[in-house]
Amino acid sequence: MDRLDFSKQDYNANRSCAGLIVLQTDEVVETEVRAWLPDEIVLYHTRISNEDNITEETLLKMREQIPSVCDLFPKYAPIAVVAYCCTSGATMIGESIVEQRVQQVYPNARVTNPITAVKARLNSLNVKNIGLLTPYIPSVAEAMSTHLSDNGFNIVSSASFYEENDFNVCRISSHSIERAVEHVVAQADCEAVFASCTNLRTLNILDTMSKKHGIPVISSNAALAWHIAELAPR
């Protein structure tokens, strides 16, 4: 076999690199975040083990795994932003704890997650009266509602699919999500609607729903992509 010479090229030159920590059960977030991010941001992915059933107890189990899964990102990739891709998980574990766990491995990285991202996005839009849509069981949905309320947002309308199994969440139809948003908007005067969960498919319907209702309809994945872009070095 002939031995060939080669030249090297830094493909990440002048590009920001972000790492996504994706739940093992999540089938949606990677595709949707990539679609909403500008092309100049490079994405790397790693998976974190989680249980199919989304409860307070199962979400908290991910806390200790975060440093070890961060170690699985490519060793020499210049990752500047790390996103833990679980809205309910970050709410239950705590945003500051997620950040601390990530920075054990990437001490200089900027860290985000969907609940941090959506709060930043809502604040950027200067809206406070929020409609909340979730797929979660009541205890998880109520914890998220309380968290948003404690951070200055008025939850004027809320609804949930009451689904515990993440396998089913990513199979909720677009029609069901659109109908659910209509239900939330009909209950009160919302300035925006937040559709929570990275495993909820919203890529192809957010713009349509926003135009139809005349207010921003924001999903976990849309907010996360926006916040990654905001945090990425320019």
DSSP three-state, residue 53: strand
Would you kindly state where each structural domain of the chain is located, as residue ranges? 16-114+223-231, 116-219
Distance CA 35, CA 222 (A): 9
Q: What is the mean pLDDT of residues 175-199?
A: 98
Instruction: Provide the CATH number for the domain formed by 116-219 in this structure.
Output: 3.40.50.1860
Instruction: Provide the CATH number for the domain formed by 16-114+223-231 in this structure.
Output: 3.40.50.12500
Q: What is the pLDDT of residue 234?
A: 82
Task: For 169-185, write each residue's pLDDT tens digit.
Answer: 999 999 999 999 999 99
**CA 159 to centroid of chain Cα atoms:** 19
Distance CA 226, CA 177 (A): 21
**CA 120 to centroid of chain Cα atoms:** 12
Structure tokens given for 173: 């139809």
Structure tokens given for 223: 């907010």
Distance CA 145, CA 168 (A): 22
Task: For 11-32, write each residue's pLDDT tens digit.
Answer: 888 889 999 999 999 999 999 9
Structure tokens given for 159: 């609804």
Strands (E), the chain: 16-23, 41-48, 79-85, 110-112, 129-134, 154-160, 192-195, 217-219
